[in-house]
Structure 1
Amino acid sequence: MDMNQCGPLIEATGLRRVYEGGFEAVRGITFSVDRGEVFALLGTNGAGKTSTVELLEGLAPPSGGHVRVLGHDPHRERAAVRPRIGVMLQEGGFPSELTVAETARMWAACTSGARPVEEALELVGLRRRSGVRIKQLSGGEKRRLDLALALLGRPEVLFLDEPTTGLDAEGRQDTWRVVRDLCATGTTVLLTTHYLQEAESLADRLAILHEGRIAVCGTPAEVTAAQPSRISFELPEGYFLGDLPPLADLGVTAHETEGRTVRMRTGDLQHTATGLLLWAQRARVELRRLDIRSASLEEAFLRIAQEAAAGAGDTSGSARTVNDGPARGDAHHGTEAAA
């Protein structure tokens, strides 16, 4: 592993991918990923995640723009890139009659500098199942084997495509632990996932794609914080909305009422909640069914998707970073059903 390489390990600049017939799946996106980062690509089906990852993996040349992985063009210089990356596909397509160990040994024979098969299987919790035939594995165990094979070559850059699909809660946590341990030793991971909790737990930064463009890029906390928080409660008997302090003074950006229930949105949750509770204390009233919560990544994802759809006229394609800093990204293994 070349730990002395300077600069991002993954760079995409104005990246485009146009399929036969003129469909533009990736529309000029720009991001980069540093060593040891976990970078998550999120988006609804058809957003362009798989098309982007395939370009990063070198499976196809870009229709426009540039991509560099480990300092090389991953398509034109595939021989220089392939031994240094690991790829975990959505489905491995393993021979059903081979055992776990036989499959891993076959894969290791085609891998430069492969780690011992037993070590790879131990990393993903499959060593005790090494003698079991592929057809007898559960769906979750097959995903673990996919990951083991992606790790055989001790990759510097790992592409993970929906890595925990089919895993139970324990298996998902185990996979997260493996990813964190790899990153601690300098491995860079690019992850696609539909599990927003997974992105929130693992990713140092993430990008949300919509119709081939990056709608927003930043840390999970930055992406979430950029969305309004919510407060809801029931008005006390005898009180009306106008009896509250001026909503603008409370920092409320939007509100709605339904009967006696008030729902507010705010960009400064602490200020709004404090003002509301101090008013209730002074008025000596109880705010029943009080619910105060920050925006979740799921709420941020849905809101950003809606906003991106409404503003589809913007064709710049470059990432809008939440903190106005440079967009960075990382790569891992994986391809997904065509986006």
Structure 2
Amino acid sequence: MLALQVNGLTKCYGTNTVLAGVDMTLTAGEVLCILGPNGAGKTTFISTILGLVKADSGDIHLLGERQQGITRSNALRQQLGVMMQIGSLSANLTVFEQCDLFSSYYNKGYSAAELVKLAGLEDHSNQRFGRLSGGQKQRLLFALALTAKPKLVFLDEPTLGMDVEARRDLWQLVRQLKQQGVAVVLTTHYLEEAEQLADRIAVLHKGVVVASGSPAELKALTQYKVIRCCSALSDTTLLGLPGVLQLSRDKHLITLHSSYAECTVKALLLADDSVRQLEVRPVALEQAFLQLTQSNNTNEEQAA
């Protein structure tokens, strides 16, 4: 059974189409990351699935159950976990009181003490929510999203405001969810986060999925590799090497983008036998993401 199945999901606000026939599936134990620039429709997509926003058209199945309108059954809600991008709690309740309140909502969920530990806030259990740091608030909101021990979790920008250590701790918790067979939908602006956690990435741009696949598959769509080195050759000579598409310099370090990296390196070594610090590697996910979204903009401009 699919944890999530969406077909032809469409949402418009006046003349602005935010989602234009989006299809998406997710299986148990899979982490699906939805990437896209600001305004791509990521938060609207999650809000529509959860029934917070009414779709104009399309079918939504959650844990095998077809959803009608914005109504979600209590039985289904007991199996979902949600952490929205803009989340808040009562500023005057303490960490423990927040956890105790959320624990009371679910039949077989975590206890308040377990949630405090899950959030890593044992030393702050008596501190009011309004006095927590931004990262601590995010950790608490993440823990509360897991109160029901859900089968399907939606995490919208979960590490926003976290420091590096807290972010990596949360990554480990997401990996544990995956190992437990929980399906996770994740949106993030941190491309390293997507590369670390996602089994599959869907790139959403202007309401349309422009690419979908594993991090490795998306990077393979980018038709070049990155070559870095120190060389005495001039920019003109370097740009004349076979396959070179782009050149940049950072002090003595040269970066080349090449569509034929092997041929480029061979010609480089023949032209300069004093090359140092030579490195060849595939593109980072960030470069693939930028190429996918920018090329989509270019195609639209040409069509217009």
| TM-score normalised over the length of structure 1 | 0.79
Q: Which residue of 2 aligns with 1:327?
A: none
CA distance in 1 between counterparts of 2:121 and 2:219 reads 36
CA pair 116-265 structure 1, distance change in 2 beyond 3 A: same
Q: CA deviation at 1:113?
A: 2.0
CA pair 253-65 structure 1, distance change in 2 beyond 3 A: farther
Report the RMSD for the aligned CA atoms in angstroms: 3.0
CA distance in 2 between counterparts of 1:125 and 1:178 reads 11
For the pair 1:254 / 2:245, whether they are aligned, the reply is yes
Q: Which residue of 2 aligns with 1:177?
A: 172
Q: Which residue of 1 aligns with 2:266?
A: 275
Structure 1 contact 57–74 (Cα < 8 Å) conserved: no
Q: Which residue of 2 aligns with 1:191?
A: 186
Deviations 1:202-236 (A, max 9, x none): 11111111111111111111111221212356765
Structure 2 contact 60–66 (Cα < 8 Å) conserved: yes
Q: CA deviation at 1:274?
A: 5.1
Structure 2 contact 258–264 (Cα < 8 Å) conserved: no
Structure 2 counterpart of 1:312, which letter? E
For the pair 1:124 / 2:112, whether they are aligned, the reply is no
Q: CA deviation at 1:303?
A: 1.2
Structure 1 counterpart of 2:227, which letter? I
Partner residue of 2:136 out of 134, 141, 153: 141
Structure 1 contact 255–262 (Cα < 8 Å) conserved: no
Partner residue of 1:231 out of 222, 227, 237: 227
CA distance in 2 between counterparts of 1:9 and 1:276 reads 51
CA distance in 2 between counterparts of 1:59 and 1:150 reads 16
| TM-score normalised over the length of structure 2 | 0.87
Consecutive unaligned residues of structure 2, counting only runs of 5 or more, are none
What is the DSSP-based 3-state SS (H/G/I as helix, E as strand, rest coil) of the residue aligned with 1:98?
coil
Partner residue of 2:156 out of 144, 161, 165: 161
CA distance in 2 between counterparts of 1:212 and 1:72 reads 24
Between Structure 1 and Structure 2, the one with more strand by share is 2
Q: CA deviation at 1:75?
A: 4.8
Structure 1 contact 60–75 (Cα < 8 Å) conserved: no
Deviations 1:279-322 (A, max 9, x none): 43xx672236755342111111111111011123899xxxxxxx
CA distance in 2 between counterparts of 1:286 and 1:162 reads 46
Consecutive unaligned residues of structure 1, counting only runs of 5 or more, are 1-5, 316-339
Partner residue of 2:87 out of 74, 88, 92: 92
Equivalent residue runs for 1:1-339 within 5 Å: 6=1, 8-19=2-13, 21-76=14-69, 78-79=72-73, 80-227=75-222, 228-231=224-227, 236=232, 241=237, 247=242, 252=243, 254-255=245-246, 264-267=256-259, 269=261, 271-272=262-263, 275-276=266-267, 279-280=269-270, 285-287=273-275, 290=278, 292-312=280-300
Q: CA deviation at 1:188?
A: 0.6
Q: CA deviation at 1:40?
A: 0.6
Q: CA deviation at 1:90?
A: 2.1
CA pair 74-237 structure 1, distance change in 2 beyond 3 A: closer
Higher relative contact order, chain-length normalized (CA < 8 Å, sep 6+): 1
Q: CA deviation at 1:145?
A: 0.7
